[in-house]
Amino acid sequence: KAGVTQTPRYLIKTRGQQVTLSCSPISGHRSVSWYQQTPGQGLQFLFEYFSETQRNKGNFPGRFSGRQFSNSRSEMNVSTLELGDSALYLCASSLEGTGGDEQYFGPGTRLTVT
């Protein structure tokens, strides 16, 4: 079956702009989690969505938001971009979002803020 897909794969934005990233989970998976990966901070949890509801949010400012649609596809939005937002943004899907589930990651969206 098809894996997790993320679009776009690469993005270049200017400070102050906003950006929307998209994630399509594996068919049948209802949980989608988003992560930010940078060389300095490593992998950091952003938030998790399950059945269109945000169940948990990491320690990121309110400029980072997301949503999930009825087909489990998810988007994350970053407003008022800052240089420090340059990172690889990863989404992962799993069946129910439990610790016992395997998490399947997408290839990521590489965001560069200039």
Return residues touching another protein (CB under 8 A): 4, 31, 33, 42-45, 48, 50, 55-56, 58-59, 90, 92, 94, 97-100, 102-108
Burial of 21 (0-12, 13-18, 19+ CB in 10 A): buried
Task: Please state the three-class secondary structure of 13-26 as a single string.
Answer: ECCCCCEEEEEECC
Measured from the CB of residue 15, what is the shortest distance to another protein in angstroms?
A: 25
Measured from the CB of residue 67, what is the shortest distance to another protein in angstroms?
A: 15
* 24 vs 94 by CB, closer to another protein: 94
Burial of 5 (0-12, 13-18, 19+ CB in 10 A): middle
Measured from the CB of residue 82, what is the shortest distance to another protein in angstroms?
A: 21
